[in-house]
Amino acid sequence: MTSSKTNPILLLSYAGIFALWALSPHVMIPYTVHTCSLVLFILYSACHHSLNLREQAEKVKNNEPGAEAVEVMKKEDAMQFPIIGSCALFGLYLALKYLGKEWVNFFIGLYFCLAGTYAVSLSLAPFLKCTSIAPKLMNEKLVFKRTINITNKFLADYIFEDDKIELDFCATDVLSLIVGVFSSWYYFTTRYWVANNVLAISFCLQGIERVSLGSFKIGAILLIGLFFCKCSAFYVNWFVVHVN
């Protein structure tokens, strides 16, 4: 895989994502041009970083030290997607019906803030590292490494799925986390659509980068399941609007 610091197309993708995000509030960009360009930039940069999953899988296969196991989506996982999605939509309907939209909006906003902080920090860190915004000396000096052992069986088995947590971050990771916290806080307090775009772009990048499908067949099953899930969402929306 080409190094991130020497890949001009990857740097162009980063620049394109930032330019479209920064210019959209001030410049009228045609919808088709904006959407197609943003999707292209996001796809390339996320797919480039997703190659790390393949490299990790090769290291695990060769029993190399320090290699981390990569979870690959299976056929059964893809087939369960429309079921899980439909149950989530039905749960959202029940929450709207019995809790009210104010509480639902609050909890959804809170969830997006927590998940958005994580997504923004993970998406921004590679950009900061490949552009050397944070000085190399700072990253070498400000390094934190620690292993936390988890003694609680429930947390180890069901939450973290391991009996220990490896903490390893540098100055660039801290800077990315600060930006992620600020972006999520600003969105939660203002609901400004530009801040919403930051979270949305980060979710797209991490959704592509962190998922390993394993085969084309599994990807096709996932897309078909997504189609049926969208159909069920349409009928749930129609039911909520016309019946209630």
Structural domains of the chain, count: 2
Query: Does the residue 194 lie in any domain?
Result: yes
Task: Output the six-digit token pair for 86.
Answer: 């439909």
Ranges of residues in the chain with a pLDDT under 50 are 137
- Are 50 and 126 in a shared domain? yes
Is there a single domain that holds both residue 122 and residue 230?
no
The reply to whether 177 and 224 lie within a common domain is no
State whether 97 and 120 are in the same domain.
yes
Query: Can you tell me the distance from the alpha carbon of 106 to that of 229, in angstroms, rounded to the nearest whole number?
Result: 24
Residues 177 and 234 in one domain: no
Assess if residue 40 is contained within a domain: yes
Q: Are residues 206 and 218 in the same domain?
A: no
> The pTM is what?
0.71
Instruction: Pick the closest to residue 76 from 218, 220, 238, 242 (CA basis).
Output: 218
CA distance 151 to 143: 26
Q: Tell me whether residue 85 is in a domain.
A: no
At 110-165, the pLDDT tens digits run 888 888 888 888 888 877 776 655 555 455 555 556 666 666 666 666 555 666 66
Together in a domain, 156 and 218:
no
Smallest CA-to-CA distance from 226 within 85, 61, 70 is with 85
Give the residue numbers spanning the domain of 67.
4-71+90-212
Quote the pLDDT of residue 232. Answer: 67
